[in-house]
Structure 1
Amino acid sequence: MKLDLIIVDDSYLWLSLAEKLAKTHPLIGRTTSFLDSYDAWVYIQTAKPQVVLSDIEMPGMNGFSFLEMFGNRVPFISSSTKQGFEPEARELGCADFIKKPFTKTEFNHTIDMVYNQLYGQSACFI
């Protein structure tokens, strides 16, 4: 089974990097991306994705808000340039935290880990 991944980041640079990495990962089937956190919020409620990769620092609704609303229903991978946000993100229930800039290896490891949490299978494709 392949993952449906939602990527939310207000930076086009980080969003496009994550999209490119997602397209090369064999466990990701579909990727839907949002620059606007409110558009993502609406979509997450209706689409019920399997995994969300969300920036923490966004205008309007930030990544912590997403975790508070959806973290108990959807595995979230929180992302930020600031490592100091990791403890709060984990406390709010993120499945993993990935610090920007992240490498392909780090991205793949995070996706593999979340896949394992969801399906109880190890799937390393680094």
Structure 2
Amino acid sequence: MRLELIIVDDSPLWLSLAEKLAKTHPLVRSVLTFEDSYDAWVHIQIAKPQVVMSDIEMPGMNGLSFLEMFGNRMPFISSSTKQDFEEVARELGCVDFISKPFTKSEFHKSIDLVYNKIYGRKANA
């Protein structure tokens, strides 16, 4: 069982990096990216993906808004350049918080945590 991942980030650089790292994780089946938070919001409601990784600081609808709306329905990984957001993101239900800049191992660890939350067991990649 592999994961479907949606990544939302208004920064093309971070979006591209996260997408590349996700595609190297053996437990990720598919990756869909969104720079526009409103487009992502519509897609999440319709497609109901398994996992969402969202930047916290975005114009319009930010990552905390995503957590408030969807955090109780699907696992989230939150990311930000500001560590100060971690506590509130976790209170809103994110599975993991990654500070930017993040490494491949940090990113992969977050995917593993989400996999464990969904399937109740550690990943056997």
What interval of TM-score do these two structures reach, taking the shorter chain for normalisation? over 0.9
Q: Does 1:49 align with 2:49?
A: yes
Q: TM-score, length-normalised on structure 1?
A: 0.97
Shift of 1:124: 6.4
Question: What residue ranges of structure 1 are gaps of 5+ in the alignment?
Answer: none
Distance in 2 of aligned mates of 1:124 and 1:58: 34
SS where residue 107 of structure 1 aligns? helix
Count of residues in Structure 1 that have an aligned counterpart in Structure 2: 125
CA contact (8 A) 1:109 1:124 kept: no
> Could you say which residue in structure 2 is the equivalent of 1:77?
77
> Could you say which residue in structure 2 is the equivalent of 1:92?
92
The aligned amino acid for 2:121 is Q
- Deviation string for 1:1-38 (max 9, x for gaps)? 00000000000000000000011000000100000000
Where do 1:7-18 residues align within 5 Å?
A: 7-18=7-18
CA contact (8 A) 1:77 1:96 kept: yes
Distance in 2 of aligned mates of 1:21 and 1:113: 15
SS where residue 5 of structure 2 aligns? strand
Give the root-mean-square deviation of aligned CA atoms: 0.9
Q: Does 1:107 align with 2:111?
A: no
Q: TM-score, length-normalised on structure 2?
A: 0.98
Distance in 2 of aligned mates of 1:109 and 1:124: 13
CA contact (8 A) 1:55 1:62 kept: yes
Question: What residue ranges of structure 2 are gaps of 5+ in the alignment?
Answer: none
Shift of 1:46: 0.4
- Deviation string for 1:61-87 (max 9, x for gaps)? 000000000000010100000000000
SS where residue 97 of structure 2 aligns? strand
The aligned amino acid for 1:106 is E
Distance in 1 of aligned mates of 2:16 and 2:45: 23
Shift of 1:120: 1.4
SS where residue 107 of structure 2 aligns? helix
The aligned amino acid for 1:47 is A
